[in-house]
């Protein structure tokens, strides 16, 4: 009985420690995002306001990563407007059409930057 308890406690401890890994830290391994384009710069503001919480830096967080999905602009717009899965819908009274265009420009620029290693 004691062996079973020790085995169970050891297994629990090892499993608990395996979930304590940290995310990769350090310098990004992609080229910096160029925000000289005003649409991209304004899209970054929209992203940081509405998307960053669930998609930090376009990576996965509470939601899946969006950098590695080659969706065309109209599909990004559809997903933002109507929501998909657990993602909420962001109607025109929350994100205007102009802001949505800027957000799409930002996401495309972010994806392009992440596709080019530094």
CA distance 29 to 113: 10
Q: Is residue 84 part of a domain?
A: yes
Q: Is residue 11 part of a domain?
A: no
Q: Is residue 22 part of a domain?
A: no
Burial class from Cβ neighbours inside 10 Å (0-12, 13-18, 19+) for residue 98 reads exposed
Q: Is residue 14 part of a domain?
A: no
CA distance 85 to 88: 8
Q: Where are the alpha helices (DSSP H) in the chain?
A: 2-18, 38-50, 73-82, 97-115
Q: Is residue 44 part of a domain?
A: yes
**pTM, to two decimals:** 0.70
Q: Which conformational region is residue 58 in: left (phi greater than 0), alpha (psi within -120 to 50 degrees), or beta? A: left
Q: Is residue 30 part of a domain?
A: no
Count how many domains the chain has.
1
**pLDDT score at 9:** 67
What is the CATH classification number for the domain harbouring 104? Answer: 1.10.760.10
The secondary structure of residue 55, as a DSSP letter, is: S
Q: Is residue 8 part of a domain?
A: no
Q: What is the pLDDT along the chain (118 residues), one digit of tens a residue?
A: 777 767 666 666 555 554 544 454 444 555 677 788 999 999 999 999 999 999 888 888 888 888 777 889 899 999 999 998 888 999 999 999 999 999 999 999 888 887 666 5
Q: Is residue 20 part of a domain?
A: no
Cβ(95)–Cβ(80) below 8 Å: yes
Mapped onto helix, strand or coil, the DSSP state of residue 117 is strand
The secondary structure of residue 51, as a DSSP letter, is: T
Residue 94 is part of which domain span?
39-118
């Amino acid at each position: 009985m004691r062996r079973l308890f020790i085995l169970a406690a050891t297994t629990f401890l090892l499993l608990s420690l395996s979930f304590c890994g940290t995310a990769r830290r350090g310098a990004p391994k992609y080229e910096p995002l160029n925000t000289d384009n005003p649409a991209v710069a304004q899209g970054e503001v929209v992203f940081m306001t509405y998307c960053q919480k669930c998609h930090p830096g376009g990576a996965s967080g509470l939601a899946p990563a969006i950098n590695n999905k080659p969706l065309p602009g109209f599909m990004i717009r559809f997903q933002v407007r109507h929501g998909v899965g657990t993602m909420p819908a962001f109607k025109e009274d929350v994100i205007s059409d102009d802001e949505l265009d800027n957000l799409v420009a930002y996401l495309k620029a972010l994806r392009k930057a992440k596709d080019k290693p530094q």
